């Protein structure tokens, strides 16, 4: 993990409520924050390669944060999201932290030192994608070997397999092992992007092509020039756009919205789906000619349960990724047996969820069977019950007494620290902060003392 943080950050600034003054802009600049204003979440389709974070102004709820998260998921992109919240809307700030915000800051906070400290904490988010991958089971080793050969051949490839098996992982490997590795890898999830945005994201537009098109915008085919384009969940592409996609694949030319002439594009297409595309063809939801065009080579990734040799190596690998700085370094034999005996309907993604939960609960060096909470069986697409539970205001804050407090694991302590700091930074005073957190001012005082004892900084607060 990179612990050095950033000195300067390019941030997309999304605030539909109030523009900032020249003076506020200058303060941000001297704190190392370079701002690019966007008017709405749908403008996030811009090239995000050089963006370090997105700053979002929330008013009465976290709807905008959820919308931005959905769009980023669609662009297969993960960025720190900083939420600006009015001081009297504390609960929104607390909800935003629960909803995955990197940090929450008061909407009238322009202090250079606060923003500089924010910038220095960016760039430290653990990035699973940058870690190496696990292919240990003999069937996975064969798949990896085949993928390397397909990568070198540069042909259009279709990845199939159930949810969470590693289709995106394999797409990245196909890119990294190909002669295009020095070019860009651009991803688009056709299921996560609102239908109204897909056409613009795919084909781009000229300046002035429609009201609000103040700049020209390159679509993903152009952005992937010299590299690979990964179209995830291609089975969800609107039928009307499928013929346009087919034309681009045949002609290797793309016409931006509002343009007179086409532009030549050079990209390698990798598509993925967990849908049965043959059934979709029969149901007239997917074009047969497009299917033939994208499935020049098909790689099918088996469910995790069909490659049991991967389970423990993956569990240990993910533990290294998530648990390295919280002092958990292995599993008890009972936990290993439980991992091996489970069906894994949500595949590697579920394994990763299970381990992240285990790390929150586990307070010793080994994860035990009791720490393993599996996703709800028949609800693989729904949020697991545990996530619902931690999305509530933190009841454990009030419940924790002296002895239990001493035994809190570092992961849960860090989470508490982030939530408490967010409340304190946005509240006019501690009493209000405690109210927003759903705890008494006394418990808040106790919690702060405890966090301080564990070396966590609580200095920048009233
Ligand atoms: N072989 C692997 N080694 C390490 N991590 C893996 C491996 N396969 C999958 N993962 C991890 O599991 C998670 C799910 O993988 P990925 O997103 O590639 O699955 P997917 O098949 O694209 O899922 P979905 O169908 O939901 O889009 C990711 O966090 C990924 O990093
Ligand atoms: Mg995927």
Banded pLDDT at 370 (limits 50, 70, 90): very high
169 lines ligand 1 (CB under 6 A): yes
| All CATH 1.10.10 domain ranges in the chain, comma separated | 395-453
Report the nearest-CA residue for atom 4 of ligand 1: 133
In the sheet that holds 33-38, the strands lie side by side as: 33-38, 9-14, 53-58, 81-85, 103-106
Tens digit of pLDDT for each residue in 320-368? 888 766 778 889 999 999 999 999 999 999 999 999 889 888 888 899 9
For residue 112, how many other CB atoms are within 10 A of its CB?
Answer: 15
Q: How far apart are CA 405 and CA 419, in angstroms?
A: 16
Q: What is the pLDDT of residue 376?
A: 62
Residue 85: strand pairing partners:
58, 106
Instruction: Pick the range with the lowest mean pLDDT from 60-69, 172-181, 262-271, 422-431.
Output: 422-431
Banded pLDDT at 389 (limits 50, 70, 90): very low
Report the nearest-CA residue for atom 9 of ligand 1: 166
Q: Which three-class secondary structure state does DSSP give residue 388?
A: helix
For residue 311, how far is its CA from the centre of ligand 1 (angstroms)?
13
Q: Is the pTM of this model over 0.85?
A: no
As a whole number of Å, the CA-based R_g of the chain is 24
Which of 192, 235, 348, 351 gets mutated to test ligand 1 (max ligand atoms within 8 A of its CB)? 348
**CATH no. of 130-302:** 3.40.50.300
Element at 315 (helix H, strand E):
helix 311-323
Task: Please say if the pLDDT value at position 424 is more than 70.
Answer: yes
Which of 169, 190, 302, 355 gets mutated to test ligand 1 (max ligand atoms within 8 A of its CB)? 169
Which of 168, 273, 310 gets mutated to test ligand 1 (max ligand atoms within 8 A of its CB)? 168
Q: Could you say which ligand is closest to the alpha carbon of residue 130?
A: 1
Tens digit of pLDDT for each residue in 7-28? 889 999 999 888 888 889 899 9
Q: Could you say which ligand is closest to the alpha carbon of residue 187?
A: 2
167 lines ligand 1 (CB under 6 A): yes
User: Which of 300, 299, 307, 297 has its CA nearest to residue 139?
Assistant: 307
Q: How far apart are CA 196 and CA 241, in angstroms?
A: 11
Atom of ligand 1 nearest to the CA of 133: 3
275 Cβ partners below 8 Å, 6+ apart?
A: 233, 235, 236
Handedness of CA 283, 279, 231, 262 (dihedral sign): negative
On whether the CB atoms of residues 354 and 361 are closer than 8 A, the answer is no
Tens digit of pLDDT for each residue in 183-240? 999 999 998 888 778 888 999 998 887 777 778 889 999 999 999 999 999 999 999 8
On whether the CB atoms of residues 420 and 447 are closer than 8 A, the answer is yes
User: What architecture (CATH level 2) is domain 395-453?
Assistant: Orthogonal Bundle (1.10)
- Strands (E) located in 39-164: 53-58, 81-85, 103-106, 157-160
Q: How far apart are CA 228 and CA 219, in angstroms?
A: 13
For residue 164, how far is its CA from the centre of ligand 1 (angstroms)?
5
In angstroms, the first-to-last Cα distance of the chain is 32
Task: Please say if the pLDDT value at position 58 is more than 90.
Answer: yes
133 lines ligand 1 (CB under 6 A): yes
User: Which of 81, 77, 128, 123 has its CA nearest to residue 102?
Assistant: 81
Instruction: Pick the range with the lowest mean pLDDT from 110-119, 155-164, 443-452.
Output: 443-452
Q: What is the pLDDT of residue 435?
A: 78
**Cα of 55 vs its chain's centroid, Å:** 15
What number of residues does the chain have? 462
Q: How far apart are CA 115 and CA 408, in angstroms?
A: 30
| All CATH 3.40.50.300 domain ranges in the chain, comma separated | 130-302
Banded pLDDT at 383 (limits 50, 70, 90): very low
Q: What is the pLDDT of residue 404?
A: 35
168 lines ligand 1 (CB under 6 A): yes
Residue 158: strand pairing partners:
271, 298
235 lines ligand 1 (CB under 6 A): no
Q: Which three-class secondary structure state does DSSP give residue 367?
A: strand
Residue 367: strand pairing partners:
331
The fold of the 9-125 domain, in CATH, is: Rossmann fold (3.40.50)
Q: What is the pLDDT of residue 76?
A: 77
128 lines ligand 1 (CB under 6 A): yes
Banded pLDDT at 274 (limits 50, 70, 90): very high
CA angle at 77 for the pair 42 and 318, rounded to the nearest 5°: 150
**Long-range own/partner contacts, residues 23-30 (CB < 8 A, 24 or more apart):** 24/110, 27/110, 27/111, 27/112, 27/115, 28/110, 28/115, 30/112
For residue 229, how far is its CA from the centre of ligand 2 (angstroms)?
14
186 lines ligand 1 (CB under 6 A): no
Class of domain 305-391: mainly alpha
Backbone angles phi, psi at 453, to 5 degrees: -60, -30
Query: Kind of pairing, strands 263-264 and 253-254?
Result: antiparallel
For residue 181, how many other CB atoms are within 10 A of its CB?
Answer: 13
For residue 75, how many other CB atoms are within 10 A of its CB?
Answer: 19
Q: What is the pLDDT of residue 38?
A: 85
Q: What is the pLDDT of residue 252?
A: 95
Higher pLDDT, 108 or 457: 108
For residue 340, how far is its CA from the centre of ligand 2 (angstroms)?
24
- Inter-axis angle of helices 430-437 and 90-98, to 10 degrees? 50
| All CATH 3.40.50.2300 domain ranges in the chain, comma separated | 9-125
For residue 328, how far is its CA from the centre of ligand 1 (angstroms)?
22
Backbone angles phi, psi at 386, to 5 degrees: -60, -40
**Cα of 219 vs its chain's centroid, Å:** 21
Q: What is the mean pLDDT of residues 368-373?
A: 92
């Amino acid at each position: 993990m990179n612990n050095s943080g950033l000195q300067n950050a390019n941030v997309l600034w999304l605030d539909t409520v109030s523009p900032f003054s020249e003076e506020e802009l200058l303060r941000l600049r001297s704190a190392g924050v370079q701002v690019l204003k966007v008017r709405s979440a749908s403008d996030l389709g811009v090239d995000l390669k050089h963006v370090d974070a997105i700053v979002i102004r929330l008013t009465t709820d976290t709807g905008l944060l959820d919308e931005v998260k959905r769009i980023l998921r669609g662009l297969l992109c993960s960025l720190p999201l900083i939420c600006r919240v009015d001081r009297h809307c504390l609960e929104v700030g607390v909800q935003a932290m629960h909803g995955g915000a990197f940090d929450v800051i008061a909407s009238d906070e322009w202090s250079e030192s606060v923003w500089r400290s924010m910038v220095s904490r960016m760039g430290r988010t653990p990035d699973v994608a940058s870690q190496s991958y696990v292919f240990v089971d003999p069937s996975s080793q064969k798949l990896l070997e085949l993928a390397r050969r397909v990568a070198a051949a540069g042909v259009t490839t279709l990845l199939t397999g159930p949810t969470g098996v590693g289709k995106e992982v394999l797409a990245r490997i196909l890119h990294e092992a190909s002669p295009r590795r020095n070019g860009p890898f651009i991803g688009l999830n056709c299921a996560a992007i609102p239908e109204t945005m897909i056409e613009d994201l795919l084909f781009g537009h000229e300046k002035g092509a429609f009201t609000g098109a103040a700049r020209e915008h390159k679509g993903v085919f152009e952005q992937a020039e010299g590299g690979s384009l990964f179209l995830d969940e291609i089975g969800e592409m609107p039928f009307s756009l499928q013929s346009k996609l087919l034309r681009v694949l045949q002609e290797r030319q793309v016409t931006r919205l509002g343009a007179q002439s086409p532009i030549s594009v050079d990209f390698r297409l990798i598509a993925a789906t967990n849908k049965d595309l043959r059934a979709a063809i029969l149901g007239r939801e997917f074009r047969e000619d497009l299917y033939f065009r994208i499935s020049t080579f098909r790689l099918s990734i088996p469910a995790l349960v069909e490659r049991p040799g991967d389970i423990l190596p993956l569990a240990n690998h993910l533990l290294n990724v998530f648990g390295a700085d919280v002092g958990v370094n292995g599993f008890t034999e009972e936990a290993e047996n439980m991992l091996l005996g489970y069906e894994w309907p949500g595949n590697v993604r579920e394994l990763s969820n299970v381990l992240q939960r285990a790390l929150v609960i586990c307070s010793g060096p080994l994860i035990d069977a009791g720490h393993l909470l599996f996703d709800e069986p028949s609800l693989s697409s729904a949020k697991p019950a545990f996530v619902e539970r931690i999305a509530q205001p933190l009841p454990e804050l009030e419940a924790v007494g002296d002895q239990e407090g001493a035994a809190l694991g570092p992961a849960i302590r860090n989470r508490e620290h982030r939530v408490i700091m967010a409340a304190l930074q946005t509240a006019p005073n501690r009493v209000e902060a405690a109210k927003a957190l759903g705890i008494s001012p006394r418990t808040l005082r106790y919690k702060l003392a405890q966090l301080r004892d564990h070396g966590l900084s609580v200095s920048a607060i009233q």
